Amino acid sequence: MFTIAIHGGSCWIDPSEITDSQRTVYFNVLKEALNMGYAILANGGTSLDAVEKAVATLEDNPLFNAGRGSAFNHDGFHEMDAALMCGHTLRAGAMAGVRNVRNPIQAARAVMEKTQNVLLTGSGAETFAREQGILFEDDPYFYNHDRYQELLKAQEQMPARNVGKGTVGAVALDRAGHLAAATSTGGFPNKHYGRVGDSPIIGSGTYANDRACAVSCTGDGEYFLRAVAAYDVFCLIDYKGLSLREACATVIHDKIGKAGGKGGMIAVDCHGNAELVFNCDVLFRAWKNERGEGETAIL
């Protein structure tokens, strides 16, 4: 038994702006990332390898706000965050506020496996990543015309507000019964002051525990931080006996939604069930289990 689910972010695009041709392109990219992770699971690989590969594939595609497609911050460069967690060992690794790292999710895994730490930030995190042989790219690699236009549009808004909440993520259950979660983001356009959202924060945007579930979140990061959203899903299942569907719906609709937050989450439980829940117009998402059941969707 194995299952994988991925997302390419929520809230960051108006549904009316998605043409049929764009929908096809998005679907193809989502399916590519899903199949990369799925192939690992189908061949007996680990959930950690599967979620890392799926997220790295999305990071390499400029369509999504992570890695190569990251948003421009207020100063015109890119600050990226990523996290990965193993549900079997409960070890986790994360990076926040890093620049020029080609695949932040790979750097996050290096933190988990090569250090006793969980979260590294800024220039220190970059130094560590270089020491581990993680690939870096020059600024032009991350330049994207559409992302730059998003920055200009965001700078025109007064007062400034958080827009463009793209994030990518993956969750998986492998044949050995182990869960894993991974999340990566380029933040939002015109981001100020080294802001860090929920994505690299274990328990808020990313969480996995073999006792119940693996979760990756996307949306209004501050709401997910305050709700400790990913961990709350685990608690509702482990402590209260809710189903995966009930737990995800409670957190997204009753907790975050009623507080004014928008976004979504993907989750897989220890029984192979998958839930992709959101309270906004758009969640780029896909999932597939060992029987070939699944879905790729946007709206």
Q: In what order do the strands lie in the sheet with 263-269?
A: 206-209, 213-219, 263-269, 274-278
Residue 159: cis peptide before it, omega within 30 degrees of 0: yes
Residue that is written with structure tokens 């020059």 in the block: 138
294 belongs to an annotated ligand binding site: no
Instruction: Let me know if 121 is a catalytic residue.
Output: no
210 belongs to an annotated ligand binding site: no
Cβ atoms of residues 84 and 181 within 8 Å:
yes
196 belongs to an annotated ligand binding site: yes
Residue that is written with structure tokens 């620049």 in the block: 99
174 belongs to an annotated ligand binding site: no
Give the Å distances, CA to CA, from 72 to 9, 67, 152, 168.
Answer: 16, 12, 9, 16
146 belongs to an annotated ligand binding site: no
197 belongs to an annotated ligand binding site: yes
102 belongs to an annotated ligand binding site: no
Closest CA to 127 of 98, 103, 102, 104: 98
What are the backbone angles phi and psi of residue 251, rounded to the nearest 5°?
A: -70, -45
198 belongs to an annotated ligand binding site: yes
Q: Which of 3, 57, 167, 185 is catalytic?
A: 167
Binding residues for substrate: 195-198, 218-221
Catalytic residue numbers?
167
